[in-house]
Every structure is written in C-alpha cells, then in structure tokens.
Amino acid sequence: MQNQGTDSPSREATFSVRNLTMADAASALVVLLDVAPLIPIRNLSPEAVAALRAAIEGPFCNPYSVIATAQNGDVAGFQFAKLAEDFESPGEPPCIKLVYTGVAAPYRCKGVFRCLVKTIMQHRLPLFAEVLPDNQSNMATILPRLGFVAGTHLIGPVFWWRP
C-alpha cells in the first residue's frame, strides 16, 4: 500500500508512505527514540531499546505498519500497527491496533501523521489506539479529527475508527 502526502504550499512537505520493511528498522528506531518522551516510553535501557528494535524487525514488519519518507530519503514518520484478532468479541471482524506513532521533528505539523493513518484506513478494518494519560503528543485531540471516537474497553480508554 502506498500513498503520497503533499501539504499546502506554505508547509512545503512532500513525502511518500509505504509498508515498513526490516531495512527501515534502524531509521524508524531513531525517530521512535526521539519521540519516546512524548508517547511516553519510560524504559530506554539498552535492553529495552534492543527489544524495541526486535519488535520493529519482527511483529511490526507486517502489512499494517507504514513508514513515511521525505523526498531526500529521511524517515519523516512511522505508524507501527498490528492485527488484533478477536479483540472485540469472537465472530467480529479483526481490527488493527495502532501501537506506536512517531513523526520526526522537522516533519511535525505537516500532515505526516494524517497520511500514515489514512493509509492504514485503506485496509477497511476497524482501528483502535490506546492513548496513555501522560501522552504529550496531543493524540487525544488529533485522533478525533481523523474520525476516531473515544471509548472504553477491558484494557482501558481507547479511540476507535470504524469503516
């Protein structure tokens, strides 16, 4: 799945979105570590960073995780996602869990996150995201602008988007 993102001329951002591959792991990890305080990811010990890289190269390399690259080849952002079968109840269609999102500082407020999520929405499966109370990236404000609705689940507060 590929998508192009171009914002208003005043923002001058052009990027492309494609599926995440193992070759993207190092670049995506750099962006993830940059945004870690905002998400927040509290444990950045060497062991935790190694586990994050293993997750990027393993379970997050799937048809649902996407990466945005700028024209110059920089990673502008990523959305790690995974299929969550039987999350709602048996017999319901599977849904996609948005796990981690990161947009590199030079590309923030340029439509990267919107384009990442819109690309995942093309799967036409329900999406959900947990937003921790101490999240500093304004996800609780941004997700409703993309059509997500706040709700609750056994895991706690979540935001849902349904096709």
pLDDT score of 8: 40
Q: Is the pLDDT of residue 79 over 80?
A: yes
| 156-161 and 149-153 beta bridge pairing | antiparallel
Residue-number span of the structural domain to which 117 is assigned: 3-161
pLDDT for 144: 95
Q: What is the mean pLDDT of residues 122-148?
A: 90
Give mean pLDDT, residues 34-42: 83
User: Quick check: bond before 94 cis, omega within 30?
Assistant: no
pLDDT score recorded for residue 155: 63
> What's the half-sphere exposure (Cβ side, CA atoms, 13 Å) at 103?
18
* Least confident piece of the model among 12-16, 66-70, 116-120: 12-16
CA angle 48, 151, 1 (to 5 degrees): 60
pLDDT of residue 5: 55
Tell me the pTM: 0.84
Tell me how far apart the alpha carbons of residues 144 and 146 are, in angstroms, rounded to a whole number: 5
Q: What is the CATH number of the domain that holds 67?
A: 3.40.630.30
Query: What is the side-by-side order of every strand in the sheet holding 95-103?
Result: 3-6, 14-19, 66-70, 75-84, 95-103, 127-130, 156-161, 149-153
| DSSP string of 76-142, one letter each residue | EEEEEEEEETTSS-TTSPPEEEEEEEEE-GGGTTTTHHHHHHHHHHTT-S-EEEE--TT--S-HHHH
The per-residue pLDDT for range 102-134, each reduced to its tens digit, is 999 999 999 999 999 999 999 999 999 988 877
What total of structural domains would you count in the chain? 1
Q: Among residues 4, 3, 1, 8, which one has the least CA distance to residue 109?
A: 8
